[in-house]
Amino acid sequence: MGDLRRAMALVRKDLLTERRSKAAFNAMAFFAAMVLFIFSFALGPDAPSMSAGPGQTLLQYLWPGLLWVAIFFTGILSLSRSFQIEIESGGLEALRLYPGDKKAVFAGKLVANLIVLGAMELILIPVSAILYNIDLWTKLPALMGVVLMGTLGFAAVGTFYAALTSNLRARDVMLPVLLFPIIVPVVVAAVKATTLVIRGDPMGELWTWLRILGLIDIVLLTVCTLTFEFAIED
Amino acid sequence: MAENAKAPGAARERTDTTALVVEARQVSKRYARTWALRAVDLRVGRGELVSLLGPNGSGKSTLLRLLTAVTRPTYGEVRIFGQQPRNGLGVRERFGVLPHQSYLYDELTAVENLRFAATMYGMRAERDQLVEALAHVGLVHVADRQARTFSSGMRKRLALARATLHDPELVLLDEPYGALDVEGIGWVDRFIGELREAGKTLVIATHEIGRALALCDRAVALRGGKAVYDGPTSDYEGAISGATEAVGLGVKI
């Protein structure tokens, strides 16, 4: 019970800090907008897709992959910031000093990161859908489920590595270098599941990919939770 | 003020050196290729006030960090209340730390900072209790102001309130006088005096040799990561000047 209260206190503290500074969210919103526009310019807003059906543009065809690239790139900023605020105040040391299980610290940081990432996704998904003219409104509940599962795996590993790299001078470089190779399975499963939600699932593969994504989430969550104490050691 | 804070004789009677609160045995710490601390022993009894003295880089802060287990010793062993500070059951609730950094979150108000610390220490702190703690350090008028707007003196007071919020038996202070004006230094003296009167065990790392010698029962001097003096504060000046003159340094530690 005490550890649950500690985790909730961390969530509240991180969200209050973010709400007042808006440091991570403003950077994420700006970066997400840039990513969406760069994709649009790079791939051409009206370029036809050779792989998809008639009337579909390349951007629409690639949207599931582009969405996850935008989520992962943008999310790095939030994950990095979540431990930056601890370093600035010496708070990471304090988190080591407080009594209780350090799994509560991981849980608190993870939930706070999930909420910030979720808020960013709530803006990113509809804006990108409007920008690329994607009809996702009827598929929104299924899409939200896939996004939640993909974000959970990403945030779990991201929170772990953000803590691990927080004491490094080159933390801004090291976080993506360490994180991206580990989340490749999440990327593959999340993009595949999103594609099946958006384009339809005639072969009934979606459930399989959701189970794979769920299994990856469980493995990543378990490993990161059990080893987090070592990640915040000096 | 410092002289007033110490009650000669009375403190020694309260000191129970047979009940060890802190015990560091031959602790060494190496960062990369540099030894920050070499084979230092430290024993602190219940109710004792011990000052860690020494120039920058002598190992004072490293020793405090080892005592609180925020970092592990390369060699040696640390025990707090007879247990390992990292894993001992209920040990972390029994000591409070004023670190070099403040452990304060700039975006949170004074009350929110204390509430967070209280919850992390497993306390159910109501606002009244937190405001009372702030009143004790003279910050009740800024209870709902963000810590980022505080002066260094106010931050020090809030950090001390945070460090002692859970009524710890052992209080470890790292440079409590750092970045303070005369009034702030006097206030810290009074605060330490109150802790002493409350029977707390204190370990204070400081550059303020005069204040430390006036306030504390014992001094431990460090130089180059080694303990060069461990004894009563009353004998410190003579012992250290003799030692430094003997090696031709002629400087005070």
* Contact call for residues B180 and B212 (beta carbons, < 8 A): no
What's chain B's Rg over C-alpha atoms? 18
Give B96's contacts in chain A (Cβ within 8 Å): none
Q: What is the DSSP letter of B70?
A: S
Long-range contacts of B28-32 (CB under 8 A, 24+ apart): B28/B73, B28/B74, B28/B75, B28/B76, B28/B225, B29/B59, B29/B62, B29/B66, B29/B71, B29/B73, B29/B74, B29/B225, B30/B74
Helix (H) or strand (E) holding A60: helix A58-89
Q: Which two tokens stand for residue A46?
A: 């009206």
User: Residue B17 has what pLDDT?
Assistant: 53
In Å, how far is B234's CA from the nearest CA of chain A?
34
Collapse the DSSP code of B227 into the 3-class scheme (helix H, G, I; strand E, B; otherwise coil) and give the result. strand
User: Residue B18 has what pLDDT?
Assistant: 57
Give A89's contacts in chain B (Cβ within 8 Å): 101-106
Mean pLDDT rounded to a whole number for chain B:
86
What's chain A's Rg over C-alpha atoms? 18
Phi, psi of B200 (to 5 degrees): -75, 155
Regarding beta strands B226-232 and B34-46, do their DSSP bridges make them parallel or antiparallel, or are they unpaired? unpaired
Q: Which residues of B179-208 are buried (b: 16+ CB within 10 A; e: fewer)?
A: ebeeebbbbbbebbbebbeeebbbbbbbeb
Least Cα distance to A28 among A118, A147, A157, A130 occurs for: A118
Helix (H) or strand (E) holding B173: strand B170-174
Q: What is the residue-level pLDDT of chain A in tens, covering all 234 positions?
A: 789 999 999 999 999 999 998 877 888 888 888 888 888 888 776 666 666 666 678 888 888 999 999 999 999 988 988 888 888 888 888 898 899 899 999 999 999 999 999 999 999 999 988 888 888 888 888 999 999 999 999 999 999 999 999 888 888 889 999 999 999 999 999 999 999 998 887 788 899 999 999 999 999 999 999 999 988 887
Collapse the DSSP code of B203 into the 3-class scheme (helix H, G, I; strand E, B; otherwise coil) and give the result. strand
Least Cα distance to B156 among B102, B212, B108, B90 occurs for: B102
pLDDT, tens digit, for every residue of B96-117?
Answer: 999 988 899 999 999 999 999 9
Entry pTM: 0.87
- Does the beta-carbon distance from B70 to A93 stay under 8 Å? yes
At CA A162, angle to CA A83 and CA A117, rounded to 5?
Answer: 80
The Cα B27–Cα B42 span in angstroms is 9
Give A96's contacts in chain B (Cβ within 8 Å): 69-70
Residue B178: pLDDT over 60: yes
One-letter amino acid at A115 equals I
The Cα B234–Cα B206 span in angstroms is 17
Residues paired with A190 in a beta bridge:
none
Question: Measured between CB atoms, which of B68, B107, B146 is closest to A97?
Answer: B68
Non-local CB neighbours of A170 within 8 Å, separated by 6+ positions: none
Residue of chain A with shortest Cα separation from B31: A234
Helix (H) or strand (E) holding B204: strand B201-206
The Cα B162–Cα B147 span in angstroms is 12
The pLDDT of B216-236, averaged and rounded, is 89
Axis-axis angle for helices A23-43, A2-21 (nearest 10): 70
The Cα B96–Cα B68 span in angstroms is 9
Residue B12: pLDDT over 50: no
Whether A234 has its CB under 8 Å from any CB of chain B: the answer is: yes
Non-local CB neighbours of A175 within 8 Å, separated by 6+ positions: A76, A79, A80, A158, A161, A162, A165
* Cα dihedral A115→A225→B118→B102 (10° resolution): -90
One-letter amino acid at B194 equals E
The pLDDT of B186-214, averaged and rounded, is 92
The Cα B131–Cα B142 span in angstroms is 10
Least Cα distance to B159 among A167, A109, A2, A91 occurs for: A91
Whether A93 has its CB under 8 Å from any CB of chain B: the answer is: yes
- pLDDT grade, residue B208 (50/70/90)? confident
Non-local CB neighbours of B90 within 8 Å, separated by 6+ positions: A99
Helix (H) or strand (E) holding B218: strand B218-223
Non-local CB neighbours of A85 within 8 Å, separated by 6+ positions: A14, A17, A21, A91, B105, B107
- Does the beta-carbon distance from B119 to A21 stay under 8 Å? no
ipTM of the complex: 0.88
Residue B25: pLDDT over 90: yes
- pLDDT grade, residue B15 (50/70/90)? low
User: Residue A1 has what pLDDT?
Assistant: 72
- Does the beta-carbon distance from B69 to A21 stay under 8 Å? no
Q: Which two tokens stand for residue B17?
A: 């050196």
Phi, psi of B205 (to 5 degrees): -95, 125
Whether B102 has its CB under 8 Å from any CB of chain A: the answer is: yes
- Does the beta-carbon distance from B70 to A96 stay under 8 Å? yes
